[in-house]
Amino acid sequence: MPELGLSLEELAGQPLELFARERAKLLLTVALEEEVTAALKRRPYERSQGKVLGYRNGHRDRQISCGAGDIAIPVPRVSDTEETFRSQLLEAWQRRSKLLEETIPLLYVEGLSTRDFKRVLKPLWGKSGLSCSSVSRANKALKEAFDNWRRRDLSLEDIIYLFLDGIYLGVRGNSRNKEAVLVAHGVTREGKRVVLHLSLGGRESTESWKGVLNDLMERGLRRSQLFVTDGNQGLLKAIKDVWPEVARQRCIVHRIRNVLARVPKKKQEEVRKAVHRIFYAAYLDDARDEARQFLSRYSREFPTACETLARHLEECLTFYRFPERHWKYIRTSNVIERSFKEVKRRTRVVGRFPTETSALVMVFSILNEERLKWQKVGMRAEDIAWIEEASRALEQEPIRLEFLEEALVA
């Protein structure tokens, strides 16, 4: 059998796309070898029983596309068969790209036990499948590689912007409750986006999020210059307890959504435009003026909406202190939110996961695939200096909006 790719030790600390390509190569290589074994009715170096049906004749590399880029697969050559041997697996791979998008994540889920693996693979390459031993080998490597990624050293990751968010999934087959999968990803000094952490967190409690932050620190992650989060109280308290000096930016999309939820439908478009004038103003002073006007205009008609907008509004405007060319990246958690939508879409076919590990491995595989679509953030030397200065300034003198006190009291 040909070399399956890099070892787990070699994969340690490598980029996620390399991890994904190597694991895809492992699965496909094992699958192709098992397909040939089934066709020849014998394993490599075994003698045939009775009439010779053909023989293995080395391998040829073939480029195959997958979510993490192209991979070179050693495709077995088969000679002297009664009929020309054609791989059903490779034909299915070429023919059913959309089906593969839905099926491959299931390999991560069902592949953690061999019981239903053939059922999952059946629509992929018909009647041929993998032996239990091959399934166990491939998925043991997948699980070990994922665990290795989750424990990798982060001391070389120079994170400027750190994003924290969670998604709720049906994690355990014996429970009806959904649980939070907690995700941390960041933007490095070079502008690259990196997924840093993935774990189960119950109901996004303070202790769960403290566990995430402590894990990041224990693996060597240095403090970032800005946290980007939603308004989850457990997360915000955890940040204040563990990294109180780091500036915080609350996602404006969540804030706009919460404000509009407290406004009658017929007035939502008007209010939405007024809120947008705050968060998309040209300067911080303009945003302050727009916020003051909003509260003055709507305080009597929509007091609850005004209170929702005013509460911790300063932390929704933190992005104005950072380089303008980064505003579209840091004023929302849109990137991870879009990825979560893809996770939800692809996990509908699963329903409930059989185990915690199966859920995490599948979410990891989808986030890794989605991350390849994330836009790189441009980072110039002057941007880095600006960011560091803004972080220091916010630590000493946070943004103050004095007129908010009156709105909250009202």
The larger pLDDT score, comparing residue 121 to residue 46, is at 46
- What mean pLDDT comes out for the span 97-115? 48
The larger pLDDT score, comparing residue 142 to residue 276, is at 276
Per-residue tokens: 151: 């424990």
Q: What is the pLDDT of residue 113?
A: 46
Out of 13-22, 139-148, 238-247, least confident range: 13-22
Q: What is the pLDDT of residue 138?
A: 58
Compute the mean pLDDT over every residue in the chain, rounded to the nearest whole number.
79
pLDDT of 34 over the 70 cut = yes
Amino acid type, 408: L
Q: What is the pTM of this model?
A: 0.72
pLDDT of 32 over the 50 cut = yes
pLDDT of 208 over the 50 cut = yes
pLDDT of 11 over the 80 cut = no
Considering the domain boundaries, does residue 211 fall inside one? no
Per-residue confidence band for 142, with pLDDT thresholds at 50, 70 and 90:
low
Considering the domain boundaries, does residue 394 fall inside one? no
Per-residue confidence band for 120, with pLDDT thresholds at 50, 70 and 90:
low
Q: What secondary structure does DSSP assign to 38-71, as a single string?
A: HHHTS-TTPPPSSS---EEEEEEEEEEEETTEEE
Q: Burial code of 271-295, b = ≥16 C-beta within 10 A, e = fewer?
A: beebbebbbebeeeeebbebbbebb
Dihedral of CA atoms 187, 190, 192, 193 in degrees, nearest 10, equals -10
Out of 91-95, 97-101, 222-226, least confident range: 97-101
Considering the domain boundaries, does residue 25 fall inside one? yes
pLDDT of 409 over the 70 cut = no
Domain that residue 93 falls in: 8-150
Share of the chain above pLDDT 70, in %: 73
Number of H helices, E strands in the chain: 18, 7
Share of the chain above pLDDT 90, in %: 40
Alpha helices in 151-267 (DSSP H): 206-218, 233-242, 252-260
Considering the domain boundaries, does residue 26 fall inside one? yes
Strands 179-188 and 193-200: antiparallel
The larger pLDDT score, comparing residue 47 to residue 59, is at 59
The larger pLDDT score, comparing residue 119 to residue 191, is at 191
pLDDT of 185 over the 50 cut = yes
Sign of CA dihedral 107, 108, 109, 112: positive
Q: What is the pLDDT of residue 277?
A: 97
The larger pLDDT score, comparing residue 110 to residue 218, is at 218
The larger pLDDT score, comparing residue 159 to residue 15, is at 159
Q: What is the pLDDT of residue 128?
A: 46
Considering the domain boundaries, does residue 92 fall inside one? yes
pLDDT of 127 over the 80 cut = no
Considering the domain boundaries, does residue 245 fall inside one? no
Considering the domain boundaries, does residue 81 fall inside one? yes
318-330 pLDDT, tens digit per residue, is 999 999 999 999 9
Q: Bridge partners of 195?
A: 185
For residue 261, give every residue at least 6 positions away whose Cβ sits within 8 Å of its Cβ, in sequence order, or none: none
CA end-to-end span of the chain: 74
Query: CA triplet 355, 195, 120: central angle to 5 degrees?
Result: 35
61-85 pLDDT, tens digit per residue, is 877 766 545 677 788 888 777 667 7
Q: Is 329 helix (H, G, I), strand (E, B) or coil?
A: helix
Domain tally, the chain: 1
Considering the domain boundaries, does residue 145 fall inside one? yes
354-403 pLDDT, tens digit per residue, is 778 878 877 887 787 777 778 889 999 999 999 999 999 998 888 877 77
93 close to 70: Cβ distance less than 8 angstroms: no
Q: What is the pLDDT of residue 147?
A: 84
Q: What is the pLDDT of residue 73?
A: 77
Q: What is the pLDDT of residue 360?
A: 85
Per-residue confidence band for 309, with pLDDT thresholds at 50, 70 and 90:
very high
Q: What is the pLDDT of residue 207?
A: 93
- What mean pLDDT comes out for the span 253-268? 95
